[in-house]
Amino acid sequence: MSLSDPIITDVRLVDLGTHYPRTVGRNARLGSQGSGPMATAAVITTDSGAVGWGLIEGRSGGNDSIIGRSLTELIDPADGVRDESSRWLDIALHDLLGVVADRPVWDLLGGAGPTTVPVYSGAVYFDDLDPDDAPRGPAAVLENCRADADLGYRDFKLKIGRGNRWMARAEGDARDVAVTRAVREAWPDARILVDANDGYDVAGFCRYLDAVGDVGLYWVEEPFPDDGDDLARLRRHRDLVSPSTLIADGEARPDTDLLLGIAADGGLDVLLMDVMSFGLTAWRRLMPQVAATGVKASPHAWGQPLKTLYAAQLAAGLGRIEIVEGVPGRTDGVDMSAYTFAGGLLTVPDRPGFGLPVPARVEL
């Protein structure tokens, strides 16, 4: 590609508030998710006046190895950020690359997927268990699904695994089944996904599948800690009771060699490495191996609404991503209006970079 090559003159960090439309409750392992975390963004300026920005996760790598270098010293247009020490700027460098090239990130990544992708609500947690002194019961989960449907979602991911920490095992497992069936009854045409956050063992999860086999789950996510033998056992059972259901894993502390091996053996159908902590660059380099195994991808995006947009760009760029995790909410000072979301479908813009103006609070 023909590309001017500006020099990085500054990298600034800015904190941005995130706001969910409601307080999000517990999952199988963790307490309440709250009403929205703080986000940190990096804003990169250059000697040409071009600016790129994006969220970061974890600690910054410092500016000394960034300032004074050219854009293409830091990021290879063909496959992403060159050095591990610069990976903390993965999103911002891809945005800047798109701005300088006057091309959307999805186009830079190859334009292998559709620019409109289904997005499910990932915000349906254990709100049936809250508040502690007067739990609202399964009706709270249905209320959350209705609220997200009003926001435009048509598909829902339900957290399960209540018996791992919050309820007696048998009682929690029964509640998981009841909630799953209630959502299916209320939304007969929705894609329903479930995420156990490793809150079951293989025998218990097979029993759960027995109880919801007629629901037609789209996928089951993180049923138990990664283990090739257990996932093979689950696959065999899945084939008997719910053969169209996909098995998804790989979000937490991914060992990609292990996961690809399990996928090649048929134990996984969808890989979930996070769009930020794993990263765009890592996904760009891994996707040929993912394609070679014949499995799908869907980068984890929970936590920040902007991560949903990044994942949608990845879907449009690399392909093999049939659905994206939606994080309902907004981020202070960020104009997301270039993205359109209706009827459960998100369309990425044909604008440079990620199509997101620099946050309003940043003075350039």
Query: What residues pair up with 45 in beta bridges, in sequence order?
Result: 10, 51
pLDDT (tens, 9 = 90+) of the chain, 364 residues, equals: 446 899 999 999 999 999 999 999 999 999 999 999 999 999 999 999 999 999 999 877 788 889 999 999 999 999 999 999 999 999 999 999 999 999 999 999 999 999 999 999 999 999 999 999 999 999 999 999 999 999 999 999 999 999 999 999 999 999 999 999 999 999 999 999 999 999 999 999 999 999 999 999 999 999 999 899 999 999 999 999 999 999 999 998 899 999 999 999 999 999 999 999 999 999 999 999 999 999 999 999 999 999 999 999 999 999 999 999 999 999 999 999 999 999 999 999 999 999 999 998 777 6
CB count in 10 Å sphere of residue 123: 27
In the prediction, which pLDDT does 364 show? Answer: 66
Query: What residues pair up with 15 in beta bridges, in sequence order?
Result: 40
In the prediction, which pLDDT does 249 show? Answer: 97
CB count in 10 Å sphere of residue 16: 18
In the prediction, which pLDDT does 3 show? Answer: 63
Closest C-alpha among 282, 283, 275, 284 to residue 303? 275
- How high is the mean pLDDT of the chain? 96
Closest C-alpha among 89, 155, 168 to residue 123? 155
Tokens, residue 324: 């994206």
Tokens, residue 297: 């991808």
What span, in angstroms and rounded, lies between the C-alpha atoms of 293 and 305?
A: 30
Task: Locate the DSSP E strands across the chain.
Answer: 8-19, 38-46, 51-56, 75-76, 80-81, 116-124, 156-159, 192-195, 219-221, 246-249, 270-271, 296-297, 324-326, 330-331, 340-342, 345-347
In the prediction, which pLDDT does 2 show? Answer: 46
Closest C-alpha among 50, 138, 133, 57 to residue 98? 50
Question: At a CB cut-off of 8 Å and minimum separation 6, what does 229 contact?
Answer: none
**Secondary structure letter of residue 353 according to DSSP:** B
Closest C-alpha among 363, 285, 300 to residue 43? 363
What span, in angstroms and rounded, lies between the C-alpha atoms of 138 and 176?
A: 9
Could you give phi then psi for residue 51, rounded to 5 degrees? -130, 135
* DSSP assignments along 155-210, one per residue: -EEEE--GGGTTS-HHHHHHHHHHHHHHHHHH-TTS-EEEE-TT-S-HHHHHHHHH
What is the C-alpha radius of gyration for the chain, rounded to an integer number of angstroms? 21
In the prediction, which pLDDT does 1 show? Answer: 41
Could you give phi then psi for residue 342, rounded to 5 degrees? -160, 145
Q: Which domains does the chain have, with CATH numbers?
A: 8-102 (3.30.390.10), 116-347 (3.20.20.120)
What span, in angstroms and rounded, lies between the C-alpha atoms of 205 and 289?
A: 29
Q: Are 198 and 225 in contact (CB under 8 A)?
A: yes
Q: Are 325 and 301 in contact (CB under 8 A)?
A: yes
**Chain position carrying tokens 């517990």:** 26
